[in-house]
Amino acid sequence: MKKFDFKKILKHTEFYVFVIIIALSLIIQARSGLFFANNNIVDLLRSLIVPSIYALCALLAFVSTGPDVSFPLIAALSAYLAIIVTKAIGYTGSAFLVFIFAIIFGMVMGALNGWIIVKYKFPSLIVTLGTSSIFNGILLGAFEAGRMDLPQPLERLGETSLLTVKNARTGLGSSLPMTFLIMIGLYIITYLVLNYTMVGRGVYALGGDEISAERAGFNVKAIRFGIFVANGAIAAIAGVCYSVMSMRYLPTEYEGGEMIVIAAVILGGTRMAGGVGTLKGCILGTLLLTMVSNSLILVGIPVSWQRVFIGVIIIIGTAISALQSYTAGRIKSKVKKEAA
């Protein structure tokens, strides 16, 4: 039987994020009496869906290569193209095909990111900033995208709920959309790939030390390119999910979400230097920032002060990540010196 090691748990950022989540939820509940209400929990889960899917893009990029800030615009453009194609061909069947259309467009955009980064060895932050502007220009400039009704397959999906609850005290009701299952499915797939395949090991090896990964036999270029293609597909799914949950296509609602998501992932223990990051850290970091954004209003804190809280949490999380990277570097250098 595996021995429980509490000291080892204390070394992980996820533990402290979990403690903060518990403390914050208890404080909000004590002040408002509404945090653990059934409708608030469902609203929180609903708000978690799209940022959590985005967080997968941020995690995969950080762990393997570096920041990717293009996923919200890939989501916006791929969802738009999928909706336009669906309407153009008059398709009224399953929503699954609409997601396939979006994934294809997303993978093409992700492939553009990957090709530039692999071919010319440019920093991922610079490349994805550039392609974000390109995708935004195509969406709002070339296509002049605006608010748009959804095709029938997505309308039907948006009208279907996993569960619906009503708060007996306030009379407020909330529903959890089917897209929640899509989020769960993506996390399961990502977990299996990262933990039980050679590609997953290669992703972490690439972020830890590219030269060592190449010497170990990993195809560094292929893995890096594949990461951005996968990110394009995941972002496309998030884009369609957002439209389904909104029951409208709203192109201006996508831009600007990348920084909060990246902050959530770093807060959850993903190191900016690469090679370290977990899915549970993704979920916990995203949950914490979603709670701050959605639930502090229950205790009467204005939106402006909520942003202050988010800013403080981001700074603390980044400082912890940087400190862990520095400590790990010192330990590694010490071990090398002793070995020599």
Per-residue pLDDT of the chain (340 residues; tens, 9 = 90+): 456 566 667 677 888 889 989 998 999 999 888 899 999 999 999 999 999 999 999 999 999 998 999 999 999 999 999 999 999 999 999 999 999 999 999 999 999 999 999 999 999 999 999 999 999 999 999 999 999 999 999 999 999 999 999 987 878 889 999 999 999 999 999 999 999 999 999 999 998 788 888 888 999 999 999 999 999 999 999 999 999 999 999 998 888 888 889 888 988 888 877 778 899 999 999 999 898 888 877 777 787 777 787 778 777 767 766 776 667 667 666 666 666 6
Name the CA radius of gyration of the chain, rounded. Answer: 21
Nearest to 135 by CA among 74, 85, 186, 192: 74
Cβ-proximal residues to 27 (8 Å cutoff; 6+ apart), any chain: 299
* Residue 311 CB-density burial (10 A; 0-12 exposed, 13-18 middle, 19+ buried): exposed
**What is the Cα–Cα distance from 140 to 137, expressed in whole angstroms?**
5
Q: Which residues face 175 on adjacent strands?
A: 164
Query: Residue 310: what pLDDT?
Result: 75
**CA–CA separation, 195 vs 182, rounded Å?**
20
Tell me which residue of 227, 171, 221, 169 sits closest to 194, measured CA to CA.
227
Query: Domain ranges in the chain?
Result: 6-339
Q: What is the pLDDT of residue 112?
A: 98
How far apart are the C-alpha atoms of 331 and 237, rounded to whole Å? 41
Helices (H), 121-160: 124-137, 152-159
* Best CA proximity match to 98, nearest among 209, 252, 244, 267: 244
Sequence-distant (≥ 6) Cβ neighbours of residue 313 within 8 angstroms: 263, 267, 288, 289, 292
What are the Cα distances from residue 293, in Å, to 112, 175, 230? 33, 19, 28
Residue 277 zone, left/alpha/beta (φ > 0; ψ -120 to 50; rest):
left
Domain formed by 6-339, architecture: Orthogonal Bundle (1.10)
